[in-house]
Structure 1
Amino acid sequence: MKKLEAANQKLKAGKVHLTLQEFGGWLSARGMFPRKDGGEGKTQQRLPLGITATPAGIDRAFALCLEIRAALDCDRFRWADWLPDYAPEKSTFGDWIEALGADYLAKGGKQKTWEKEYLGKCFNKVDWSAPLDGEVLRTIVIASPADSRTRRRLVGAYAQLLKFAGLPDCVSEYRGKYSPLTPVNPRNLPPDSLLLDFWAGLDADPWGTVAGLMIVYGLRNYECFCCDLIDYPTLYVDRGKTDRERFVFPLLPQWAERLDPSLPLPDCHGDNEALGSRVTHAFKRLGLTVAPYNIRHCWARRAFEQGLATDLAAALMGHGEEVHRKTYQRWIEKQSFSDRFYGSLKG
């Protein structure tokens, strides 16, 4: 919005040290404000102005910014004087969640992600009719398992809501140490014999095709349902999708000979999470005693044992080299140490 940009340029030129921002069709002033809890010092916060982002509204908001600046400079700023009737303390969770959703989608966010990740896993835990309260969100976060993916997701969504509403962030400090790149412990992986026996026991079962694809090519469980075997034994994942397509070679060609590419896959539909869940439940029902994702980790182990370079292994597995290094660092460290050790002996 050019008028909003022009207003902010004037505020900057006048050294007002406030910025007008638009969220969900409403204007806010962002800058350094006294703490809402009465503590010492100032923090970067957002003050909802209760003004719509129309040309006339922007003019009015600009004038308010000058008044706010004067109050701040004279140490006369009090939150109670500036929060409009719909301010966070007097608005419901539902009001702010809906406004956040509108802003998220307006900025290119996906409807499916908003509904599944935000509404379905985070904002379904609060009473939408209750006043927005950071302490309620903090309590929910603390009650979740520490250092878990669940807590990390909750903190991300709740911090976003609090920031959007101009309230202090009281949840991010509880994020924890969870990382999706947790290094794999070699001792937790099954021997190849267990995986091969499981595969052999499925014979012509469609789930045997899934097991074979994962064992031979190290695919993610859901990738088995979007792979192309026309050029077998070279396999393509998401073929034709230029941003995601990749090809994979069989690490051990003799294993690929055991896989019959003409056999059908199970009749499964849904998004990646749904497909992955189907694989997990099916393998458990069929007697696999380890997590299906360990099949993929075992492929990475074999790659190191075969001496495949880290960058090539990462590319074939469909993730970045840094992800590969962090996930499989124990093998990389061992391989690097071994190369240096035997290299020094030869020298």
Structure 2
Amino acid sequence: MTDANAAIDARILQTNQRLKAAHMGFQIERRGQKLGLRGMLPPRPGSLRLKPSQQRLSLGLPATSAGLKQAEQTVKVIVAQIIQNSFDWRQYDSGSGWGRLDQIGLAQQLQAFEHHFLTEPSRLSHPASAKTTWETAYSPYLRKLEAIAQANPQLSFVEVLYATVRATEDNSRSRQVCCTALGALAKFLSVELPIDLKSLWGSYGLSQMRARTLPSDALIASTWESIPNPGWQFVYAVMATYGLRNHEVFFCDYSALLQGKPEATIRVLNTSKTGSHDVWPFYPEWVDHFNLRSIQLPAIQTDLTQTTLQRIGQRVTSQFRRYDLPFSPYNLRHAWAVRTIHFGLADTVAARMMGHSVAVHNRTYHQWMTHRDQQQAVETALNRNQLVAPGGGKAEG
């Protein structure tokens, strides 16, 4: 520590002793060559806190005798403002995101964010997927944010951001997607948020999957027979047998099926949402039962210069509704995943086939995995300990 820093620290200590004796409730701190305060302050703009809490406030004053004198005066002003209920963070915090929003500036920022999102190197190899993700998972919430900003010009960016999140339903997928989109925007704009948006996701995902009633395999097989159109029968059967997303059926390499290869794998092409990956059938017997070696895709628009992956997926959903099927297309995918769990397929392998991360897989299908693991543990214990049951004979393993 330099002599200058040691000298100013000694003066800060003396000043803080005076503030403590006067019951001001604040301390002055030196952080590098700048001075700030620490004490009980009202919630920052956009914070979900309802009561004052211990917080830091950067004054931007130099760590000098003159700066320290001004900091002591600022403490007295802030205490008076708190007593009069007139304290306003925006008088003191000049950090990014706390100023009033310039509507033209916001529109330009959103345009820049869109360009950044679509041209990131990781997305350039999957432009159709990137466009679909933007249109379905980002654009709706950014439009909502822009509308809230226009209706409330007095709000800061951070306040508008949290208001947009609160405008979505609690514990819903829309809340989760909104938090993801706005979190990415804040990161792009280098805006530091006082509350991590991930903490506002709620309990969507696990609770929803627990509540979901999946169709039985027998119902899946019998429902296929009720579809009158061979092309849509094929779409349904491929989704049931391989656990594909709605749109993925139209972007697969079916050559192994056409060539009669016994493993009957298909490859989801790079065009799709998660890139190229191979998928095996569960049940393998369904390949022949559903006549999947005869490729019969319905004739719909799949040119991604004319349509999007989202619209293709919506077409599948609308056909399910048209034929009055008793469950949604995604239930076929979830049923496939649970089926692999019952077969004992490694979770890492199943996640790869489904084109998502192991973390997402484990979170989504936690309920069934837990039951599988418990069942295996029980069977192992029973087989290892052949105890004699009361009444004679060994306990069954």
Pairwise TM-score range, normalised by the shorter structure: 0.5 to 0.7
- Correspondence for 1:102: 112
- Correspondence for 1:299: 336
Question: Aligned Cα RMSD in Å?
Answer: 4.3
Q: Distance in 1 between matches of 2:177 and 2:240?
A: 31
1:69-148 mapped onto 2 (5 Å cutoff): 74-75=70-71, 80=91, 89-102=99-112, 105-106=115-116, 109=120, 112=131, 117-124=137-144, 125-128=147-150, 131=153, 133-134=155-156, 135=159, 137-148=161-172
1:27-38 mapped onto 2 (5 Å cutoff): none
1:196-345 mapped onto 2 (5 Å cutoff): 196-232=221-257, 233-238=264-269, 244-257=275-288, 258-269=291-302, 270-345=307-382
Following superposition, the deviation at residue 253 of structure 1 comes to: 2.4
Q: Distance in 2 between matches of 1:82 and 1:172?
A: 21
Q: 1:72 to 1:287 in 2, by over 3 A?
A: farther
In structure 1, give the amino acid aligned to 2:353: L
Indicate the larger mover: 74-83 or 180-189: 74-83
Q: Distance in 1 between matches of 2:340 and 2:195?
A: 45
In structure 1, give the amino acid aligned to 2:266: L
Following superposition, the deviation at residue 260 of structure 1 comes to: 4.1
Following superposition, the deviation at residue 228 of structure 1 comes to: 0.8
Q: Report if the CA contact (8 A) 2:278-2:353 is conserved.
A: yes
TM-score normalised by the chain length of structure 2 = 0.60
Following superposition, the deviation at residue 83 of structure 1 comes to: 6.4
Structure with larger Rg: 2
- Measured against aligned partners, the alpha-carbon deviations of 1:87-121 in whole angstroms (never above 9, x if no partner) come to 96454344234235425645855784666644433
Q: Distance in 1 between matches of 2:230 and 2:300?
A: 12
In structure 2, give the amino acid aligned to 1:98: Q
Q: Distance in 2 between matches of 1:68 and 1:104?
A: 39
Following superposition, the deviation at residue 237 of structure 1 comes to: 0.5
Q: 1:203 to 1:234 in 2, by over 3 A?
A: farther
Q: 1:290 to 1:194 in 2, by over 3 A?
A: same
- Correspondence for 2:175: 151
In structure 2, give the amino acid aligned to 1:330: Q
Indicate the larger mover: 180-189 or 70-79: 70-79
Q: Report if the CA contact (8 A) 1:94-1:129 is conserved.
A: no
Structure 1: gaps (5+ residues) = 1-13, 19-30, 48-64
Following superposition, the deviation at residue 189 of structure 1 comes to: 0.8
Indicate the larger mover: 112-121 or 163-172: 163-172
- Measured against aligned partners, the alpha-carbon deviations of 1:112-153 in whole angstroms (never above 9, x if no partner) come to 466664443333432548525145554444343111222234
Structure 2: gaps (5+ residues) = 1-30, 45-51, 75-88, 124-129, 258-263, 385-397
- What secondary structure is seen at the aligned counterpart in 1 of 2:337? helix
In structure 2, give the amino acid aligned to 1:126: I
- What secondary structure is seen at the aligned counterpart in 2 of 1:308? coil
Q: Report if the CA contact (8 A) 1:92-1:128 is conserved.
A: no
Q: Distance in 1 between matches of 2:205 and 2:56?
A: 31
In structure 2, give the amino acid aligned to 1:341: V
- What secondary structure is seen at the aligned counterpart in 1 of 2:255? coil
Q: Distance in 2 between matches of 1:122 and 1:283?
A: 31
Following superposition, the deviation at residue 295 of structure 1 comes to: 0.6
- What secondary structure is seen at the aligned counterpart in 2 of 1:287? coil
Q: Distance in 1 between matches of 2:172 and 2:335?
A: 24
Q: Report if the CA contact (8 A) 1:234-1:250 is conserved.
A: yes
Q: Distance in 2 between matches of 1:82 and 1:313?
A: 49
Following superposition, the deviation at residue 306 of structure 1 comes to: 2.8
- Correspondence for 2:12: none
Q: Report if the CA contact (8 A) 1:314-1:321 is conserved.
A: yes
Q: 1:123 to 1:167 in 2, by over 3 A?
A: farther
In structure 2, give the amino acid aligned to 1:121: Y
1:155-170 mapped onto 2 (5 Å cutoff): 155-158=179-182, 164=189, 169=194
- Correspondence for 2:18: none
The alignment-based identity, stated in percent, is 26
- Measured against aligned partners, the alpha-carbon deviations of 1:185-241 in whole angstroms (never above 9, x if no partner) come to 387011222222221222543211110110111111121111110111221111699
Q: 1:211 to 1:181 in 2, by over 3 A?
A: same
